Structure 1
Amino acid sequence: MTVEELADLGRQALARKEWAAGYADLHAARLRGDIGAEDLRELARAAFLLGRDDEGCQLFDEAYHAFEAAGDPEQAGRCAFWVGFSLLNRGHHAEAGGWLARAQRIAEEQPGSGALGGYVAIPHAMRALYTGTPDAAFEAFAGALSTGEQCGDKDLIALATVGMGEAMARQGRVAAGIALLDELMLSMGDGTVSEIPTGIVYCVVVGLCEERFDVGRAAEWTAALDRWRRQQPDLVAFRAECQVHRSQVLQRRGSWEEAVTEAERALARLTGADDAATGMAWYQLAELHRVRGDLLAAEEAYRRAHESGLEPQPGLALLRLAQGRPDVAATAMRRAMAEAPDAVSRCRLLPAAVEVLLAAGDIDAARRVAEELTQHAADQAATPYLVAVAATARGSVLLADGRATAAAGELRLALETCLTLGLAHEAGRVELKLARARMAAGDVEAAQLDLDRARRTFERLGAETDLAVADELSVRLDAADGEPGGLTAREVEVLRLVATGRTNRAVAGELHLSEKTVARHLSNIFTKLDLPSRAAATAYAYEHRLV
C-alpha cells in the first residue's frame, strides 16, 4: 500500500472510533513516508486514547512543528497546549510550563486567533483553583467559557464549564456547582465533545464527588464512564487520578481485586512523576492493603504516599490501630486535624478520628469530633453518605458512654443508608458496631445475627482486618451464649465439618469461605482448645457431641 492508502485506512478507522486500528495504520504510513500535520495530530490523539502518553506528547510535538511550517499558528498552538496539559497532569511541571508558555506566546501573537486564547487560560485557572483562590479561578474559567461559546468550540466549553463547577464548589456554592456539573455530564458521550476532553470532565467530576463524600453520585458517573468506555474497547482512562477514583468506587462496590489493579495501573502511568497524583495512587493502594489485612504492604505504600507529598492520614492512623497502637494513632490524628489546610480536608479526617480517639480512651475528644462531623452533615449540601458517617460517629460515642439503646438507633440509621448506597464494607463495619450495642443492651441473639451478617460480608470481601475484630467480638458473644471452649459459632461450624473428614477446600466450599479463612478458623480452634492436630479436633468434636 502507498502512504496515502495506509493513511486513509487510519482515518477511516479513527472515524469509527477504532483507536488501535487507526493508530496502527497511521503509524505504518508515517514509517513509510511523510504524513500531513492533521494526520500527525490525529495519530497523537489516538496514542493518548490508547494510554501511550509519552508517545502522544512526542507526536503532538511533531504535529506542532508541522502546523508551524504550514503557517497554521492556531493549530500549532493547540498541539503545544495538549503537550503541556498532558505533562502537567502527570506531574512534569517544568517541561509542561515550557509548552504552555509556547502556546501562550502563540495566542498573544495572533490576536483574534480563535479558541486558543481560551485553552491557554485553563491551566492558569487550574493553578488559581488549587492554590486556594477559587474566585480568581471562577473568573478565569468563565472567560474561557465565553471564548469557547464565541468560537463554537465544544471541547473548550466543556473544559471551562467543569472548571467553573469545581470552582463554585470550592467557593462554598456546592449545590449550584454540582447542578452545573450534572447538566454538563448529560452531554458527555453524545459525540459533541471529543474523547480527550470527555475523559477529563468525567475524571474531574468523579474526583469532586469523592472529595465531597458524594459516593452515590461518584458511583453513578463512574458507571456512565464505564458504559462510554465499553463502546470503545481500545480506550483507556485519561488521567491517573481518574484511575485512582475508579479504584475507590470499585473498593466501595466490593470489587477489591479490580480496585487493586486499577490503582497499580495508575502508578504505572505515573512512573517518574513525584506529585499529588502519585501520592493519591500510593495512598489508595495502601488503603486496599490495610483492609485486606496485608499490614506490611500497607505500611510501605503509606510511606510512599508521604514521600510523594501526600498526608497519609487517616489511613496510617487506622493502620496503627490495627497494629494495636491506639495512642500512636490518636497522636497522629490530633496532629493531622490541627494541620488540615481547609474545612473539606479536615472533614475527611473526622470519621477515623472518632474511631481512633475512642480506642485510645479519649471519649470527650471523640464526642467533640462527632459533634463537629454532625455540623457538617447538617449542611444543606451534605450527602446521604456524610449523614450516615455522622450517625455512625454519634452511635460510637453513645456506645462508649454506656447508652447502648440510643447508640443502636443511630447505627441502624447509618446501616440503612450504607445498604441503600451499596457500600458493603461500610455496612459490615457499622453492623459490627451495632452488634456491640445490642450485646451491651443484653440482646445476645440480635447481636449474634448482626455479627453473623457482618462476618459474611467480611469473608466475601476478604476483609481480614475486620474479620479479626469480629473474631474478638464472637468470643465475647459465645461466652455469653455458652458455645463450648469459647469457640465462635463459625468456628463450631468449621469444627463439625472437619470432624466428618472434610478437607479445608471442602469446608470452604460448603461454608462459602476462602481456604485462607478456613485455615485461620482452624488455627483459632487449635489454640482455644489446646489441640495439636485435626485428629485431636475430631475427637474433641465427638466427645462434646458437636457431630
Structure 2
Amino acid sequence: MADATVGSTELREQGRAAYRRRVWSDAFACLSRADEISPLEAADLDLLAVVARLTGRDAAADDYAARCYEAWLRIGQPRPAARRAAWLSLQLLLRGQDVPCRAWSARADRLLREVGSEPLPERGFLMIISALSELAGGQPRSALQTHTEITELGRRFAEPDLIAIGQLGQGEALASLGRVREAMTKLDEAMLAVTTKVVTPEAGGIVYCAVIEACEAAFDLHRARQWTVALDRWCDDQPGLVAFRGSCLVHRAHLMQLGGDWADAVGEAETACSLLSGHPAAGEASYRLGELHRLRGEYEQAECCFLEASRWIADPQPGLALLWLRQGRADDAATAVRTALDQAANDLDRCRLLPGYVEIMLEVGRLDAAREAATELVSAARASSAPWLVAMGAQAAGACSLAERDGSAGLRTLRGAWAAWRELDAPYESARVRVLMAEAHRILGDRASAEMELEAAGWVFDRLGAMPDLERVRRLSARAAPAGPLTGREVEVLRLVATGMTNRAIASELFLSEKTVARHLSNIFVKLHVSSRAAATAYAYQHDLVPSHPTR
C-alpha cells in the first residue's frame, strides 16, 4: 500500500507538471493512472476533468467532473463545486444534451443561492448558459445584455475566462443585430486574450472556434483566414489536444475550398467528420464535405453527406437545393431554398442563402424573384462593405442583368464581381463569373471575347476538378454563334433540341427536370417567335448555334 501511495503521489506531481506545460496526453496518462491507484482529491480531479475533455474523452470528462463536484462538496467548498457544475452544464449544452445541461445548471444555481446573494464570479459561468439560450432562441438583445454583464463580472473579479466568453457572446449578439463592425471589434478583443494565453485552454478552444465561425457567418474572409492560422498554431502547441481540432479542420476545409485547394479540403473535411462523430459540430463537417462532392460532380456522395448533416443541421441549405437542381429536381430545389430563406433567423443568414436562391430562381425562370433577391444582397453588401459579400452581390446582380438581356450592364457589374473574387483569391468563384462574362459578350455580339472567357474559366475548372462546370463550359464554348435573345441555358437546350434529342434526354444531359426543360423550350419559342421544335431547330442552324460535330 505504501509503494502504491508513493507511486500515486509521483504521478500526481508529473500530471500537474504536464498540465502546466499543456502536454495534455501526458497529463491525462499520469493523472488517470494516479486516480486508479488512489482516488484523486477535488483539485486534481478538476485538472483530470479538463485534460480528459481536451484529449477528446468527453464521456470520461463528464464522469470526472461529476466526481469533482462531489469531492468539493465533501470538503465544504460549494463555490468551486458550483463552478465545475456550471462548466459541465456548458459542455453538455455545446454537445446538444439539453436535459442533463439543465440538471447541472440547477445544481450550480442552488449552491450559489445557498452561498448568498452577493455577486460571485461563479455566477458569471452559470449566466453563460442563459446567455447562449437567449442567443439560440432569437433574443439577441437580451443575449447582448447578459453577455455584457458576464464581461463586467469577469473584470470585477479578474476572471479572464469570463471576460473572453462575455466578449465573444457580445460579438455574436451584435452580429445577429446587424451591427457587424461592432461585433468584429468584440470578437477581436476575445481572441486577443486567447492568443496571449490569458484564458484557460477550456475556454480558449470555445472562443477560437466560435469567433472563426462568426467571422465566416459575417463574410469577413480576411479575419476568418487569419484566426484559422492562429487556431492551427494554438492546437499544434498543445501535444495530445483532440478537442477543437475537428472544428478547426472544418474551418480549414472551407477556406481551402475557397482558395481552390479542393483535394486537401476533402481530406480535412473527412478527418473532421471522423473526429466529430456524434458531436453537433459533425453537422457542419458533413455539410462542408457534401459541398465539395457537389462541386466535383460526385452527386451520390454529396447527397449522403447532406443527409448526414441533416441529423444536426435543421436544413442543410443552400447546398442541398443546389444539388437537387443539378439532379434535375428544379422544382424541389426552388421550394426548399425559398423555405430556407423564409425561415432565416437574421439578415446574415439570409445573405448566406441568397446567392444560391438567385441561381435557382434564374434556372426555373423566376427572374422577378431572382432580381429582388439580388437587390437585397447588393444592399447588404453596401451596408457591410465586406469584400466577400460585395463579390456575391455583384455576381448575383450581373447574372440577373444577363437574364434581362442587358449585356452592357451585366458585363460592367460582373467585372466588379470578378475583381472582388480575385482579390479574395477565390479561383472557382472567379471562374464562374467569367462564364457569365462570356454570356455578356455573346449578347453584345463579341464572339472572340466570349470564347476567351470560356477558355480561361475551363482551365480553372479542369485544374480544380469542377467537372459539372467544365462540362457546361464545353457545351457553351463559342464554336457556335451569338445567342441572340436567348440566355445561356436556353442556348444549351436549343442546341440539344437541334440534335433531335427529346425533352427527357435533354433533362438527363443537363441535369434538369423535364418540366424545367419544357419551360425553357416554351421561352425559346416565345423569344424566337416560332411555334415548333422544327422551326427552333432551323433557327439554330441558320444562326450557327449548332457545332458541326456537337460534343455530348
TM range (shorter): 0.7 to 0.9
Bigger mean CA deviation after superposition, 239-248 or 416-425 = 239-248
Distance 1:167 1:239 in 2: 25
CA deviation after TM superposition for structure 1 residue 301, in Å: 2.5
Distance 1:106 1:256, change over 3 A: farther
Distance 1:382 1:480, change over 3 A: same
Distance 1:267 1:61 in 2: 28
The amino acid of 2:16's aligned partner reads R
The amino acid of 1:478's aligned partner reads R
Alignment-derived partner of residue 123 in structure 1:
129
The amino acid of 1:232's aligned partner reads Q
Distance 2:551 2:330 in 1: 30
1:4-41 Cα distance to aligned partner (Å, 9 max, x none) = 11221222222122111222222222222233322221
Q: Structure 1 residue 103 and structure 2 residue 104: aligned?
A: no
Bigger mean CA deviation after superposition, 103-112 or 201-210 = 103-112
Name the SS for the 1:478 alignment partner. Answer: coil
Bigger mean CA deviation after superposition, 458-467 or 388-397 = 458-467
Q: Could you tell me whether the CA contact under 8 Å between 2:178 and 2:347 is conserved in 1?
A: no
Alignment-derived partner of residue 508 in structure 2:
none
CA deviation after TM superposition for structure 1 residue 441, in Å: 3.0
Q: Structure 1 residue 148 and structure 2 residue 154: aligned?
A: yes
1:447-479 Cα distance to aligned partner (Å, 9 max, x none) = 3333333223223322223222222223xx234
Name the SS for the 2:40 alignment partner. Answer: coil
For residue 414 of structure 1, the aligned residue among 398, 412, 417 is 417
Q: Structure 1 residue 471 and structure 2 residue 471: aligned?
A: no
Distance 1:159 1:480 in 2: 60
CA deviation after TM superposition for structure 1 residue 79, in Å: 1.6
For residue 352 of structure 1, the aligned residue among 347, 356, 359 is 356
Distance 2:181 2:115 in 1: 39
1:226-250 Cα distance to aligned partner (Å, 9 max, x none) = 1222222432343865554443223
Q: Could you tell me whether the CA contact under 8 Å between 2:54 and 2:202 is conserved in 1?
A: yes
1:84-105 Cα distance to aligned partner (Å, 9 max, x none) = 2111111111112111221222
Distance 1:235 1:459 in 2: 38
Distance 1:15 1:252 in 2: 38
Q: Structure 1 residue 343 and structure 2 residue 344: aligned?
A: no
Alignment-derived partner of residue 378 in structure 1:
382
Distance 1:307 1:28, change over 3 A: closer
CA deviation after TM superposition for structure 1 residue 173, in Å: 2.3
Distance 2:23 2:124 in 1: 30
Query: After the TM superposition, which residues 96-495 of structure 1 pair with which residues of structure 2 at under 5 Å, given as runs?
Result: 96-111=101-116, 112=118, 114-238=120-244, 243-268=249-274, 271-272=277-278, 277-308=281-312, 310-379=314-383, 381-474=384-477, 477-479=478-480
Name the SS for the 1:34 alignment partner. Answer: coil
CA deviation after TM superposition for structure 1 residue 342, in Å: 3.4
Distance 2:268 2:41 in 1: 36
CA deviation after TM superposition for structure 1 residue 158, in Å: 0.8
Q: Could you tell me whether the CA contact under 8 Å between 1:280 and 1:310 is conserved in 2?
A: no
Distance 1:402 1:23 in 2: 66
The amino acid of 1:210's aligned partner reads E
Q: Could you tell me whether the CA contact under 8 Å between 1:247 and 1:262 is conserved in 2?
A: yes
Normalization by structure 1: what TM-score? 0.81
Q: Could you tell me whether the CA contact under 8 Å between 1:90 and 1:270 is conserved in 2?
A: no
Distance 2:265 2:219 in 1: 19
CA deviation after TM superposition for structure 1 residue 480, in Å: 5.2
Normalization by structure 2: what TM-score? 0.81
CA deviation after TM superposition for structure 1 residue 387, in Å: 1.0
Distance 2:186 2:268 in 1: 29
Name the SS for the 2:10 alignment partner. Answer: helix
Give ranges in structure 2 of 5+ residues lacking alignment: 1-5, 483-548
Name the SS for the 1:188 alignment partner. Answer: helix
Q: Could you tell me whether the CA contact under 8 Å between 2:374 and 2:393 is conserved in 1?
A: yes
CA-atom RMSD, angstroms?
2.5
Q: Could you tell me whether the CA contact under 8 Å between 1:74 and 1:113 is conserved in 2?
A: no
The amino acid of 1:340's aligned partner reads A
Distance 2:359 2:172 in 1: 31
Distance 1:38 1:300 in 2: 46
The amino acid of 1:81's aligned partner reads A
Distance 1:261 1:20 in 2: 25
The amino acid of 1:390's aligned partner reads G
Distance 1:191 1:306, change over 3 A: closer
Distance 2:7 2:16 in 1: 14
CA deviation after TM superposition for structure 1 residue 445, in Å: 3.6
Give ranges in structure 1 of 5+ residues lacking alignment: 482-526, 531-547
1:486-509 Cα distance to aligned partner (Å, 9 max, x none) = xxxxxxxxxxxxxxxxxxxxxxxx
Q: Could you tell me whether the CA contact under 8 Å between 1:292 and 1:464 is conserved in 2?
A: yes
Distance 2:412 2:430 in 1: 15
Name the SS for the 1:378 alignment partner. Answer: helix
CA deviation after TM superposition for structure 1 residue 124, in Å: 0.2
CA deviation after TM superposition for structure 1 residue 407, in Å: 1.6
Q: Could you tell me whether the CA contact under 8 Å between 1:196 and 1:238 is conserved in 2?
A: no
The amino acid of 1:65's aligned partner reads E
For residue 57 of structure 1, the aligned residue among 52, 57, 62 is 62
Distance 2:263 2:44 in 1: 39
1:13-70 Cα distance to aligned partner (Å, 9 max, x none) = 2212211122222222222223332222112212222222222222222222222222
CA deviation after TM superposition for structure 1 residue 267, in Å: 4.1
Alignment-derived partner of residue 545 in structure 2:
none
Distance 1:341 1:138 in 2: 16
Distance 1:58 1:460, change over 3 A: farther
1:408-467 Cα distance to aligned partner (Å, 9 max, x none) = 221121111112112222222222222332344343443333333322322332222322
Name the SS for the 2:240 alignment partner. Answer: coil
CA deviation after TM superposition for structure 1 residue 360, in Å: 1.5
Q: Could you tell me whether the CA contact under 8 Å between 1:145 and 1:160 is conserved in 2?
A: yes
For these two proteins, the number of residue pairs brought into alignment is: 480
Distance 2:59 2:251 in 1: 22
Alignment-derived partner of residue 38 in structure 2:
33
1:103-123 Cα distance to aligned partner (Å, 9 max, x none) = 222222222473110100001
Higher relative contact order (CA 8 A, sep 6+): 2
Distance 1:101 1:382, change over 3 A: farther
Distance 1:12 1:309, change over 3 A: closer
Name the SS for the 1:395 alignment partner. Answer: helix
Q: Could you tell me whether the CA contact under 8 Å between 2:86 and 2:105 is conserved in 1?
A: yes
Distance 1:382 1:132 in 2: 25
Alignment-derived partner of residue 84 in structure 1:
89
Name the SS for the 1:187 alignment partner. Answer: helix
Distance 2:348 2:91 in 1: 27
